[in-house]
Amino acid sequence: CGSGLSGDYISSEGHYWIGMDISPAMLDVAVEREVEGDLLLADVGHGIPFRPGMFDGCISISAVQWLCNADKKSHSPPKRLYRFFSTLYTALAQGSRAVLQLYPENSEQLELITSQAMRAGFTGGMVVDYPNSAKAKKFFLCLFVGASGTLPKGLGTECADGEETHHAKFTNERTRFRNAKGKSVKKSRDWILEKKERRRRQGKEVRADTKYTGRKRRPRF
């Protein structure tokens, strides 16, 4: 729950909440801010310590991916993830949902997180906002307890031909404009074209592309 910023929104919507965090410093900030939720110092890798069916829902922001790290010799990422998901499944009421926003490092990490969630009994899947953006892309693991619900549509998922993308794709290959040897990224033609296309999607006025776009100019003396 960090400093409770998301909890403020939950409270404004008329809900009660309990927040967990492994950082005492973050919880101290939440206490100073006098958030309305109850706070608990805990490591979610040790499990969710609440009685069965206690909660109607769960949200998490940029936290689950840290369970993939082995900070101690005793830490096993698959076991910690399963412990988290299995106890979360128990703590949630039937028909409830959990939405976990995360930043996976690669496809293997994403597969590990998703598989442990499904192993614990959840149904659902991954929703990606702005899958073609380097900065705005966000991953949401949307989980259901009991009957599987309908996954929400990710923002910015409409393709040029009207189709929609539903799956996250990872690749170890860099795009060409980021792999130019000896060239500055910001001076490459591909980087300029990508930036102009991004601005067009934002509705901004951009000059038309020509054969001179991104060309190298001789220095003036």
Output the CA angle 184-186-191, nearest 5 degrees: 115
**Confidence (pLDDT) at 57:** 95
The pLDDT-based confidence of 121 (bands split at 50, 70, 90) is very high
Q: Which residues contact 42 (CB under 8 A, 6 or more apart)?
A: 20, 21, 22, 49
Report which of residues 100 and 194 the model is more confident about. 100
Quickly tell me which residue has 């990872």 as its tokens: 170
pLDDT at 185: 57
Residues contacting 146, CB < 8 A, separation 6+ = 94, 95
What's the confidence (pLDDT) of residue 143? 94
Is pLDDT of 220 > 80? no
Longest alpha-carbon distance in the chain: 76
Residue 153, C-beta contacts closer than 8 angstroms, at least 6 positions apart: 127, 164
For the chain, give every domain's residue range: 43-145, 182-213
What's the mean per-residue pLDDT of the chain? Answer: 83
Q: Which pLDDT value is given to residue 170? A: 44
The candidate with the shortest Cα–Cα distance to 27, out of 43, 9, 51, 48, is 43
Phi then psi dihedrals of residue 134, to 5 deg: -75, -30
Share of the chain above pLDDT 90, in %: 52
Q: Does domain 43-145 have CATH number 3.40.50.150?
A: yes
Say yes or no to pLDDT of 79 above 70.
Answer: yes
Which residue in this structure is represented by tokens 């069965």?
A: 52
Q: Is 85 a residue whose pLDDT tops 90?
A: yes
Sheet order of strands, 92-102 included: 55-61, 92-102, 138-144, 123-129
What are the DSSP calls for 141-184, one per residue? EEEESSS--PPPPPTT-B-TTS-B--S----SSPPGGG--TTS-
Closest CA to 54 of 35, 40, 41, 33: 40
Stretch among 64-68, 69-73, 86-90 having the lowest mean pLDDT: 69-73
Mean pLDDT score, 159-178: 46
In the block, residue with structure tokens 């958030």: 35
